[in-house]
Chains A and B, each alone.
Chain A
Amino acid sequence: DAKTTQPTSMDCAEGRAANLPCNHSTISGNEYVYWYRQIHSQGPQYIIHGLKNNETNEMASLIITEDRKSSTLILPHATLRDTAVYYCIVRISNSGYSTLTFGKGTMLLVSP
Chain B
Amino acid sequence: DGGITQSPKYLFRKEGQNVTLSCEQNLNHDAMYWYRQDPGQGLRLIYYSQIVNDFQKGDIAEGYSVSREKKESFPLTVTSAQKNPTAFYLCASSIRQGGTEAFFGQGTRLTVV
Give chain A's interface residues, CB within 8 Å of chain B: 32, 34, 36, 41-46, 49, 87, 94-97, 99-105
In the complex, A46→B94 CA distance in Å?
A: 11
- Where chain A touches its partner, the secondary structure class is loop
Given contacts A43-B90, A96-B100, A100-B92, 13 further A-B pairs with CB under 8 A are A32-B99, A41-B88, A43-B6, A43-B105, A43-B106, A44-B92, A94-B99, A96-B95, A96-B99, A97-B31, A97-B94, A102-B44, A105-B42
Interface residues in B60-113 by Cβ distance below 8 A to A read 88, 90, 92, 94-107, 109
B41, B96, B99, B109: the one contacting A104 at CB < 8 Å is: B41
- Which residues from chain A contact B42 at a C-beta distance below 8 Å? 87, 102-105
Q: With a CB–CB cut-off of 8 A, which chain B residues contact A95?
A: 96-97, 99
Q: Is the CB of A97 within 8 A of B30?
A: yes
Q: How far is the CB of A112 from chain B (nearest CB, A)?
A: 25
**Which one, A41, A45, A99, A103, contacts B33 given CB within 8 A?**
A99
Given A32, A42, A87, A96, which contacts B107 in the complex, CB threshold below 8 Å? A42
Determine whether the beta carbon of B105 is less than 8 Å from that of A34: no
Contacts of B11 in A (CB 8 A): none
A-B contact pairs, 10 of them (CB 8 A): A42-B107, A43-B90, A44-B43, A94-B99, A95-B97, A96-B94, A97-B31, A100-B43, A104-B40, A104-B42
Cα-based distance from A94 to B90 in the complex (angstroms):
22
